[in-house]
């Protein structure tokens, strides 16, 4: 004798068990009273009661989850079966189906992650990467620098300017923080930026010679929408780094009309003298002048004054 199908046996058991049948009807009434389920069934009058009874488990799964993030504070706090996905009811060939789609919190999370990827850095402190334009301290001494940044960002709303800013000023006045604030604002325009701490960058490129991937690194720095070199002049360059690395990056960005930002404790004039002196003690004024001409092509010198904020 063949075994009776499980579903048929279960249905017969439910019919014979009044207590279970009562609880089942109560559960069914609760499910069907759910606003979204009620609206769904009204929208699809072709669905008969038999199909509803058959798919109560799917309807129950739907109603017990956070629908359109109604019960979730954010993506990380999602309590659904599939994190970041919201249930949706569908009708496929007359049957009720339960599908999942990315919820609003998930989409927002992806959008933020995508924007975060627009900002890259090399050896830059976390607090700098979190800097916001609205948090910049504005004093009369810092007004010129603030106005220059504000002007750059206003122009960026229409088109990326060809020139960035060369911030010069004393130690600790907040030059690097300005870079972080600018980079974060650029993300709202879907523009990529890269901030590089120059002393560590110089050391990394020395190591890259041994690894034979110098050109790969140079290409990555060339192609950011906005490139920022922090604390240029703090490290003595070799003639090779000045001409083959820095010179190559500057030449590319000048030809492509891509802006650059710099911070330095030196003025452009003082930096030219530093670039003329190599690690071997030679003085090469012509090559230093050529580098500075390119820097002037991609940035405008602005003095950032004020007290030392690190004390």
Based on the domain organization, do 69 and 133 belong to the same domain? Answer: no
* Lowest-pLDDT range of 24-28, 227-231, 262-266: 24-28
Domain extent, residue 67, equals 14-106
Which of 118, 52, 121, 122 lies closest to 89, judged by CA?
52
Based on the domain organization, do 82 and 141 belong to the same domain? Answer: no
pLDDT over 70, % of the chain: 87
> Which pairing describes strands 299-303 and 164-168: parallel, antiparallel, or unpaired?
parallel
pLDDT value, residue 151: 96
Based on the domain organization, do 195 and 145 belong to the same domain? Answer: yes
Based on the domain organization, do 175 and 143 belong to the same domain? Answer: yes
The pLDDT tens digits of the residues spanning 120-144 come to: 767 788 888 888 888 888 888 899 9
pLDDT value, residue 263: 96
pLDDT value, residue 134: 86
* Lowest-pLDDT range of 106-110, 240-244, 247-251, 259-263: 106-110
- The C-alpha atoms of residue 56 and residue 50 are separated, in whole angstroms, by 10
Of 106, 137, 153, which residue constitutes the final position of a domain?
A: 106
Based on the domain organization, do 100 and 165 belong to the same domain? Answer: no
- The C-alpha atoms of residue 249 and residue 241 are separated, in whole angstroms, by 11
Q: For residue 43, what are its two tokens?
A: 């929208």
CB 69 within 8 A of CB 104: yes
pLDDT value, residue 110: 64
Taking 60 as the threshold, does the pLDDT of residue 87 lie above it?
yes
pLDDT value, residue 227: 94
Which among 9-18, 106-115, 228-237 has the top mean pLDDT? 228-237
Enumerate the β-bridge partners of residue 99. Answer: 88
pLDDT value, residue 219: 82
Arithmetic mean of pLDDT, 157-172: 94
Which of 128, 103, 129 lies closest to 115, judged by CA?
129
- The C-alpha atoms of residue 281 and residue 283 are separated, in whole angstroms, by 7
User: What pLDDT band is residue 79 in, cutting at 50, 70 and 90?
Assistant: confident
Of 79, 106, 133, which residue constitutes the final position of a domain?
A: 106
Total number of residues shown for the chain: 311
Q: Which DSSP letter does residue 277 get?
A: B
Based on the domain organization, do 123 and 99 belong to the same domain? Answer: no
* Residue 2, domain member (yes or no): no
Q: Which DSSP letter does residue 283 get?
A: B
- The C-alpha atoms of residue 272 and residue 291 are separated, in whole angstroms, by 8
pLDDT value, residue 109: 63
Q: In whole angstroms, how far apart are CA 258 and each of 11, 201, 255, 291?
A: 72, 20, 8, 16
- The C-alpha atoms of residue 242 and residue 240 are separated, in whole angstroms, by 6
- The C-alpha atoms of residue 95 and residue 52 are separated, in whole angstroms, by 9
Q: Reduce the DSSP state of residue 50 to 3 states and report it.
A: helix
pLDDT value, residue 72: 83
Any idea what the CATH number is for the domain that residue 228 is in? Answer: 3.40.50.300
Q: Give the CA radius of gyration of the chain.
A: 31
Taking 90 as the threshold, does the pLDDT of residue 306 lie above it?
no
How many domains does the chain divide into? 2
- The C-alpha atoms of residue 125 and residue 215 are separated, in whole angstroms, by 26
pLDDT value, residue 238: 85
The pLDDT tens digits of the residues spanning 30-58 come to: 989 999 999 999 999 999 989 998 888 88
Based on the domain organization, do 175 and 253 belong to the same domain? Answer: yes
Based on the domain organization, do 142 and 253 belong to the same domain? Answer: yes
Arithmetic mean of pLDDT, 178-186: 92
pLDDT value, residue 2: 45
* Residue 111, domain member (yes or no): no
User: What pLDDT band is residue 15 in, cutting at 50, 70 and 90?
Assistant: low
- The C-alpha atoms of residue 183 and residue 165 are separated, in whole angstroms, by 13
Q: Which DSSP letter does residue 243 get?
A: I
**Burial letters 214-223, b for 16+ CB under 10 A, else e:** beebbeebbe
Taking 80 as the threshold, does the pLDDT of residue 1 lie above it?
no
pLDDT value, residue 9: 59
pLDDT value, residue 256: 93
CB 180 within 8 A of CB 107: no
Q: For residue 72, what are its two tokens?
A: 């979730």
Based on the domain organization, do 167 and 275 belong to the same domain? Answer: yes
């Amino acid at each position: 004798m063949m075994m009776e199908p499980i579903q048929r046996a279960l249905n017969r058991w439910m019919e014979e068990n009044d207590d279970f049948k009562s609880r089942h009807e109560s559960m069914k009434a609760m499910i069907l009273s759910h606003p979204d389920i009620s609206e769904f069934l009204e929208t699809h009058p072709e669905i008969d009661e038999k199909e509803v009874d058959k798919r109560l488990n799917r309807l129950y799964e739907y109603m017990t989850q956070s629908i359109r993030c109604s019960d979730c504070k954010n993506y990380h706090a999602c309590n659904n079966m599939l994190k970041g996905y919201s249930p949706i009811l569908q009708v496929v060939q007359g049957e009720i189906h339960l599908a999942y789609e990315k919820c609003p919190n998930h989409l927002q999370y992806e959008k933020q992650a995508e924007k975060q990827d627009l900002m890259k850095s090399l050896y830059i402190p976390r607090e700098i990467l979190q800097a916001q334009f609205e948090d910049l301290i504005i004093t009369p001494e810092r007004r010129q620098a603030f106005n220059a940044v504000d002007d750059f960002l206003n122009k960026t709303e229409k088109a990326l300017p060809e020139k960035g800013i060369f911030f010069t000023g004393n130690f600790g006045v907040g030059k690097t923080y300005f870079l972080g604030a600018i980079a974060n604002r650029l993300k709202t325009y879907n523009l990529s930026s890269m901030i590089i701490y120059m002393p560590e960058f110089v050391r990394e490129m020395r190591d890259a010679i041994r690894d034979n991937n110098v050109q790969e690194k140079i290409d990555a720095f060339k192609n950011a929408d906005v490139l920022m070199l922090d604390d240029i002049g703090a490290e003595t360059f070799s003639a090779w780094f000045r001409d083959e690395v820095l010179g190559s990056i500057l030449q590319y960005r000048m030809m492509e009309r891509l802006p650059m930002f710099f911070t330095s404790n030196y003025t452009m004039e003082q930096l030219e003298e530093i670039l003329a002196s190599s690690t071997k003690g030679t003085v090469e004024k012509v090559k230093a002048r050529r580098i500075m001409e390119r820097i002037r092509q991609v940035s405008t010198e602005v003095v950032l004054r004020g007290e030392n904020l690190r004390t």
